[in-house]
Structure 1
Amino acid sequence: MSEIHSQLLSCTRNIICSFVANNFIECDKVPDLIQGVYGSLAGVLDVRASIVTPERQKPAVPIASSVAPDYIICLEDGRKFKSLRRHLRVKYSLTPDEYRTKWGLPDDYPIIAENYAAERSRIAKEFRPGRASIVPTR
């Protein structure tokens, strides 16, 4: 006896026991009730087995060519961005981690283009936030 068949029998037994304990039923109707419950449970399993899982979405561009020094190409729609973070949040309600997981990307997959990150870093270092410029007083 297969595991699924034994589980169906167990569920059928539990349902029939509960029903008979709380309801009056003639003895000659019990076999029909058992067949009906078992058939319904088996039908539910058939429906669940026939549900087709949706096909995995294909990236708009090959993953290998989605990273360039000046831009990152979004795998969802194929558009080029210096930074994907806002686009993913606004248009697709995805965080960078969810995006990486969805497409099977490594944890170190960039969300910001390399040259853009370097430029932002240079600007930040140039302004040195949090440090007051020292002007000699005389």
Structure 2
Amino acid sequence: MRNNHSVVKHTMSDADRQTDSEASPPQIESFGHIVAAFASREAATVDEIMQLAERLSPLLLGAERQFAAGSDAVSNEINAQQTSPVAPALPIENAVKQDKVFCLCCGRGFTMLKRHLKAEHGLTEDQYRARFGLSDDFPLVAPSYSERKAMYAKRIGLGKYEREKSEYGQPSNP
């Protein structure tokens, strides 16, 4: 018995791929990558692939229209979501312990938050502080880690330097 849902493979030359990718906006290219990745799963059925394509089309076409119109509405909405005050995952006063700082977005503890904020939440340090109304000097690194790094830096001689005396008895600027 023959399967009614056959998959046709289309091969393109490198020149065709280059021309095709240059001609298509990033949204259409992303659409193709998403659907292709989903379709490459062994368990994916044709119906599931078609449903995914139908659900993604309006989302990406809407973004494409805004992109074509030169609208910054999408980026403004994302920035507004990232910087609008949000209820923290734990009380702010409990976010900094001696050996860990806790992410107010998800509640997980880390030695340093910078990499986690960017990778998991797509936030910069400034956006994170603005989102939760934190001061500029709010620590994003565990105090014990900062102390350990400072002690090591002092031990190897960083932060010390000799200045030559000027003719007026004051140290001269290097």
Question: TM-score, normalized by length of structure 2?
Answer: 0.40
- Code of the aligned partner of 1:59: P
1:118 is paired with a residue of what secondary structure? helix
Give the Cα separation in 2 of the matches to 1:63 and 1:101: 13
1:60 is paired with a residue of what secondary structure? coil
Q: Offset of 1:130 from its aligned partner? A: 9.9
- Equivalent positions of 1:79-98 (< 5 A) are 79-98=108-127
Match of 1:78 among 107, 113, 128: 107
Structure holding more helix per residue: 1
Residue 115 of structure 1 corresponds to 144
Give the Cα separation in 1 of the matches to 2:156 and 2:85: 46
Residue 127 of structure 1 corresponds to 156
Q: Offset of 1:128 from its aligned partner? A: 3.0
Give the Cα separation in 2 of the matches to 1:62 and 1:105: 12
Equivalent pairs counted in the alignment come to 78
- Structure 1 or 2, whichever has the larger Rg, is 1
Query: CA RMSD, aligned part only?
Result: 2.4
- Equivalent positions of 1:32-43 (< 5 A) are none
Give the Cα separation in 1 of the matches to 2:90 and 2:102: 8
Identity of aligned residues (%): 38
Residue 63 of structure 2 corresponds to none
In structure 2, runs of 5+ residues without a counterpart are: 1-80, 161-174
2:105 is paired with a residue of what secondary structure? coil
Question: Is the 8 Å Cα contact of residues 85 and 132 (structure 2) preserved in structure 1?
Answer: no
Q: Offset of 1:60 from its aligned partner? A: 0.9
**Change over 3 Å in CA distance of 1:58–1:122 after alignment to 2:** same
In structure 1, runs of 5+ residues without a counterpart are: 1-53, 132-138
Question: Is 2:98 aligned against 1:64?
Answer: no
- Code of the aligned partner of 2:144: N
Question: TM-score, normalized by length of structure 1?
Answer: 0.50
Residue 102 of structure 1 corresponds to 131
Residue 48 of structure 2 corresponds to none
Question: Is the 8 Å Cα contact of residues 85 and 131 (structure 2) preserved in structure 1?
Answer: no
Instruction: Choose between structure 1 and 2 for higher RCO, CA contacts under 8 A separated by at least 6 residues.
Output: 1
Give the Cα separation in 2 of the matches to 1:70 and 1:96: 19
